[in-house]
Amino acid sequence: MLILKVDAEPVYYNSISSKLRRVLKRHPIHVDLFRREGTIYFISLDDGFSVTFLYSAYLKAKEKDLKAELMYAKYIDPTLLPERIKELAEKWLSRGLSCREIEELKNINITEHVLSRWL
């Protein structure tokens, strides 16, 4: 998996997310994109088409003089995961999760959490 981290800039974000939506309508591509606290994250599987899109987003960011970092995901130790994730995963093994817990999980960003401990 490849990750691209770019400083958030509204015009860049809008144009690249629009481009991704257009591509998704016509072709299967394995790229996700989200924005958190001044940073845009792209996550891509390592197939050629997805990586090419990710790299074009990197080039566009550089063209706009935005700080952009290209990374390759690798094994992590489970201790890097948030404690709340581990607690709810254990609960999910034996029972279901409540709607409140599911909503809570939707607001936890794992990539950002792991990257902040890695770097």
Give the CATH number for residue 65.
3.30.70.600
Same-domain pairing of 9 and 67: yes
CA distance 23 to 25: 5
Domain range holding 84? 78-118
* 60 shares its domain with 114: no
Q: Is residue 31 a contact partner of residue 53, using CB atoms and an 8 Å limit? A: yes
> What is the three-class DSSP state of 63?
helix
The count of domains in the chain is 2
Residue 62, pLDDT score: 96
User: pLDDT tens for residues 64-78?
Assistant: 999 999 988 777 888
Whole-number pLDDT of residue 54? 94
108 and 55 co-located in one domain: no
Same structural domain for residues 62 and 90? no
Residues 13 and 66 in one domain: yes
Same domain, 12 and 61: yes
98 and 114 assigned to the same domain? yes
Task: Tell me which H or E stretch contains 18.
Answer: helix 10-26
List, for residues 78-105, the tens digit of each pLDDT value: 888 889 999 999 999 888 889 899 888 8
